[in-house]
Structure 1
Amino acid sequence: MSVSWCVSARVRGGHANGIQVTVHPSLGSGRCPNARSGATAPPRPAVCAPRPKLCTASQNHAPAGRRQQRRSNASPFNTVFARSSSSTASSLSQPHVSRALPVIGTKGDGWRQTYHCPPISFRPSSHRAPSRPRATLSIVPALIAHAGDQAGWRYVEFFSANIRNPNTRRAYARACAQFFAWCEDRQLALTTIRSVHVATWVEQLQEKHSAPGVKQQLAAVRMLFDWLITGQVVPTNPAAAVRGPKHVVKTGKTPVLEAAEWRKLIDSIPTDTVRDLRDRALIATLTYSFARIGAALKMKVEGLQPKGSAWRLRLHEKGGRYHEMPCHHSLAEALHAYVAAADVAEDRKGWLFRTSPGHNATVLTEQPMDQSAAWLMIRRRAAAAGIHAQIGNHTFRATGITAYLENGGQLAHAQTMAAHESPRTTKLYDRTKDRLTQPEVEKIRL
């Protein structure tokens, strides 16, 4: 069964709020799902490289039968690309003009078009076809769109092909969108942006954001312009000469629990249900293995491995690295109690920390927990234990490293256990010198 891909674009609502482009497959029929009933795509020319070809599109919406067929052919890889536009767009009542362009939509002129193009996917929206196609939204700024087709594609490829980490992709996309919106408000074009404009934007950011946040946004813009230079979209990088705010960090800001507070939190979690045992095991894993929350939640059941009379953890850390860590005896007890209650010991390829649906604390699904669910669990457990500090997922990593160093552990070993590239990063988690006791404060006598 042949699969071709279509890109359909139209101005949303006939106003100057952007152009929406949907990428979806057309299975074998050679017919665009957004096209009028009976309209077919012209045959693809006999060339080796796939070339975008035009398919006719309807001015009005498709009939109910075609809409139902479109829903039935919906793919889990449906993706929506949208871009804002500051130019005045014509209404959809104008005649629709068709052109064969390998672009993500066209300028805001009221046209609706459909193209056959190679597969494009920003991120799968679901693992099964929903009744109504759901999509992931990405913004291609009008300032980029007005620079031409090559600039639009290059912008999309920067996030889809160049950045693999989803958290970095989300943060950089937000920073770049805000920067180009700022430039658009000042009627700048992509080729007229200079270092003075980037510097002015950075100065305004410092009024509302902290130094690390400003440096991250500046790094995103600088990296994007480097990508546009290699794609021959712009000749120079206006952000290369702009310096971010000075930021020196000697101590981390992650809240750290005292030993008594950590024990109070663990003791407050009961052992009645499998959800309770899961929460105890997850908190113990973050504390005793110095694991990042992402690595802990990606653990499989087979990640708990025996080694002689002891146990080891195999963690998939950021950067694609696998890190093995000896398992503390208290952590091994918590993990074995959870695995036995969840009855997942035989599911070696399954996720270790799984979600629990609704209010049924005795049942686990086959889906893994995500970071937001873990954060909500930790805040709920901390509130129940009477801990009012604003702790989160990273608190237990910092708590474990601090407790290790307080009890005579070496910094070099802590660096290896935490999978840090530099000991300076590990030192940020050391709070042993920052804790002032009440007796020390009482020495102030007047």
Structure 2
Amino acid sequence: MDQKEYLKRYMRYLKLECGYSANTQAAYQHDLLFLFHFLEDQGKTVTEVKLADLETFAAGLHDQGIGPRSQGRILSGVRSFYRFLLLEGDVKDDPTELLPWPTIGEHLPEYLTTEEVDQLEASIDLSKWEGQRNKAIIETLFSCGLRVSELVNLKISDIYFDEKFIRVLGKGNKERLVPISDEAIKQVNLWFVDRRQMKIKEGEEDYVFLNRRGHHLTRTMILIMIKRQAVAAGITKTISPHTLRHSFATALLKGGADLRAIQMLLGHERLETTEIYTHMEVSDLRREILEHFPRNIKKKGKM
């Protein structure tokens, strides 16, 4: 079987088994072509690859001037491909299992503390028609850890108020159930009081969050709203809707939640994606030690 046939089967797997979008499939294919071109130069097939070959391949990515993050993305795609081949019985062992990952500089996402989220919500002018809607949006993003794309597509029929769950359609059209807090339920119900007074466009009746013309919101609208609200709240951090998702995950980790539980709530396919929050926790601990550990305090006093 030649490489084109392996690639064709893998693309079919990503589409039918994983439910990935056409754009995601294209991204995986693009990254795999780096490997295929390398193997052609080496005169090897995908099933003959050993760890040493992949180490040479990874070093070649660096030599081509490809940055660490892009290297990591490409190698992640290669790892996914070989797990597929292992699953299909095309290879007996996964050659990527011990492949070292490129070193990526520590770039941790910004997040808000619970107090800062309260500060953000407190700055909302509830006398404006959109005030309660915006408060419900911020609370739902923070309490449920939703992607902004998931929030704009949230339907009334997706909210189970009595059971305190919402049904979320995430990446790859994968559904997951996420608990919704009492506070978020309260704010959404208060928004529904205003929403009932609106003239809603045909076909938009089931969307939770609407603009003044009765259409469901866009991601850009929510991004602009949150940035403006951060300025009004005096928050100097650079934030976006995704910041509230990070804040949700960080708050859970600080509260002692299991990393795999956080992975399920966020809808991450790979645990490695969720593990960034452990790095955030370590970063916070380091800061606390530097600021509050007695010996560090003494040293600061002598300076």
Question: TM-score with structure 2 length normalisation?
Answer: 0.64
Looking at structure 2, the residues matched to 245 and 345 of structure 1 have their Cα atoms a distance apart, in angstroms, of: 57
The more displaced of 166-175 and 276-285 is 166-175
How far 1:294 moved relative to its partner? 5.3
When Rg is computed on C-alpha atoms for both structures, the one with the higher figure is 1
Is 2:19 aligned against 1:164? yes
Is 2:268 aligned against 1:411? no
Looking at structure 2, the residues matched to 268 and 222 of structure 1 have their Cα atoms a distance apart, in angstroms, of: 46
Is 2:213 aligned against 1:363? yes
Cα RMSD, aligned residues only: 5.0
SS in 2 for 1:363: coil
The answer to whether the 8 A contact 2:113-2:247 is kept is yes
Aligned counterpart, 1:316: 168
Change (3 A) 1:417 1:315: farther
SS in 2 for 1:270: coil
Aligned counterpart, 2:77: 220
1:424-439 equivalences under 5 Å are 428=278, 430=281, 433-436=285-288
Change (3 A) 1:226 1:267: closer
Is 2:38 aligned against 1:183? yes
**Identical counterparts, % of pairs:** 16
Aligned partner of 1:198 among 54, 57, 80: 54
Unpaired runs of 5+ residues, structure 2, are none
SS in 2 for 1:223: helix
Aligned counterpart, 1:263: 118
Aligned counterpart, 2:182: 328
Aligned partner of 2:158 among 303, 316, 328: 303
Looking at structure 1, the residues matched to 167 and 186 of structure 2 have their Cα atoms a distance apart, in angstroms, of: 18
SS in 1 for 2:164: strand
Is 2:249 aligned against 1:391? no
Aligned counterpart, 2:29: 173
Alignment deviations for residues 258-300 of structure 1 (CA, whole Å, 9 cap, x no partner): 34432332233433233x5433222111222344555544431
Is 2:193 aligned against 1:340? yes
SS in 1 for 2:9: helix
Looking at structure 2, the residues matched to 208 and 248 of structure 1 have their Cα atoms a distance apart, in angstroms, of: 13
Looking at structure 2, the residues matched to 261 and 197 of structure 1 have their Cα atoms a distance apart, in angstroms, of: 49
The answer to whether the 8 A contact 1:313-1:324 is kept is yes
Structure with more helix by fraction: 2
Looking at structure 1, the residues matched to 29 and 165 of structure 2 have their Cα atoms a distance apart, in angstroms, of: 34
How far 1:191 moved relative to its partner? 3.4
Unpaired runs of 5+ residues, structure 1, are 1-143, 357-361
Aligned counterpart, 2:9: 154
Q: Which structure's relative contact order is higher, taking Cα pairs within 8 Å and 6+ residues apart?
A: 2
How far 1:255 moved relative to its partner? 1.8
Alignment deviations for residues 146-185 of structure 1 (CA, whole Å, 9 cap, x no partner): x5874674364244334313375354234224444x539x
Change (3 A) 1:208 1:383: farther
Q: What letter matches 2:257 in structure 1?
A: L
SS in 2 for 1:399: helix
How far 1:226 moved relative to its partner? 5.9
Is 2:138 aligned against 1:286? no
Looking at structure 1, the residues matched to 10 and 263 of structure 2 have their Cα atoms a distance apart, in angstroms, of: 38
Change (3 A) 1:290 1:434: farther
How far 1:435 moved relative to its partner? 4.7
Alignment deviations for residues 99-125 of structure 1 (CA, whole Å, 9 cap, x no partner): xxxxxxxxxxxxxxxxxxxxxxxxxxx
SS in 1 for 2:285: coil
Looking at structure 1, the residues matched to 221 and 32 of structure 2 have their Cα atoms a distance apart, in angstroms, of: 28
SS in 2 for 1:382: helix
